[in-house]
Amino acid sequence: MENLIEKIISLNGKTAVITGGSSGIGAATARLLSQAGAGVVILDINQDQGETTASNIRDNGGVARFYACDITDETQVKTAAAFVKKTYQTLDILFNNAGVIVRKNVIDLEESEWDAVVDVSLKGTFLVSKHMIPLMKANGGSVINTGSGWSLKAGENAAAYCAAKAGVLNLTRAMAIDFGKYNIRVNCVCPGDTDTNLLRSEARQLGEDETVFLKQASARPLGRMGTPDDIAKSVLFLACPLSEWISGTSLLVDGGGLA
């Protein structure tokens, strides 16, 4: 039985690309997928932090590389895809995770802020998928997009983020339909409030006390915020054979918050 369990969660011999992988949920996922046996390529604009994350994975016996990439720039994404193809030939797992948030309503929101949020979360998911999915066609694979609880239900003073994450969810469904014939599964993980620098930045943007803000974020049935590791485990589930007949759906990981 132990061998069976190991087999159905194993990613041995697999290659994974993770956007926004230098910190937070992305870094936690890079570590966990590496522990499950995958070779990991971290894409991020933060070179110092990305190199550190990849180095730490290697120091712990994993296989990880960092590649600097602005996922809103198609030329850079093409170059990153070429690097993955040259290094690994094929790709098995794509985690479209990079995102930013601006906590404003549509009146207060600047056009540049709208563009920044939508470009990273939605356009970035499109561009990376466009150039990485062809590497999956030969052998199949799993694409996991990061949505949000606000993909399913809107929140206050987060217009661009809610729009972008709702778009990511329906893009997920469309991609699942289009690429299922290649045995490529596409799903969306939808985290609730997770203890990351991104969440803490929301408190500052809203002018709220960080301690109070985080306490409010913990007010859910399971009585705590999520951790990056909580979300990473859900990504591992969607990446490994445990979920081999799951595609085109969203997995809400929020401690019961939306309930």
If you write DSSP's letter for every residue of 47-86 in order, what string do you get?
HHHHHHHHHHHHHTT-EEEEEE--TT-HHHHHHHHHHHHH
- Angstrom distance (rounded) from CA 140 to CA 62: 23
Q: Assess whether 161 carries a catalytic annotation.
A: yes
Q: Is the pLDDT of residue 3 over 90?
A: no
Structure confidence by residue, pLDDT tens digits, 149-179: 999 999 999 999 999 999 999 999 999 999 9
Is it the case that residue 126 has pLDDT exceeding 80?
Answer: yes
pLDDT, the chain, mean: 96
| pLDDT tens profile 17-41 | 999 999 999 999 999 999 999 999 9
In terms of Cα–Cα distance, which of 145, 157, 247 is closest to 203? 157
User: Per the structure block, which two tokens stand in for 249?
Assistant: 């759906």
Cβ-Cβ contacts under 8 Å for 242 (sequence gap 6 or more): 8, 9
How high is the pLDDT of residue 197? 87
Among candidate residues 29, 5, 22, the one with its CA nearest the CA of residue 144 = 29
User: pLDDT tens digit string along 199-234?
Assistant: 999 999 999 999 999 999 999 999 999 999 999 999
Distance of CA 185 to the CA centre of its chain: 15
Q: What is the pLDDT of residue 4?
A: 75
Domains in the chain: ranges and CATH: 2-193+228-252 (3.40.50.720)
DSSP three-state, residue 229: helix
CA atoms within 13 A on the CB side of 163: 19
The answer to whether 57 touches 31, Cβ cutoff 8 Å, is: yes
Tokens (6 digits) for 154:
């809107």
Q: What's the rounded Cα separation, in Å, for the pair 171 and 179?
A: 12
Q: How far is CA 169 from CA 27, 29, 61, 175, in A?
A: 22, 20, 34, 10
Helix 159-179 with 111-118: angle, nearest 10 deg: 30
CA 74 from centre of chain: 19
Hey, what are 228's tokens? 């990056």
Q: Among 67, 88, 161, 182, which one carries the catalytic annotation?
A: 161
Question: What is the reported pLDDT for 2?
Answer: 55
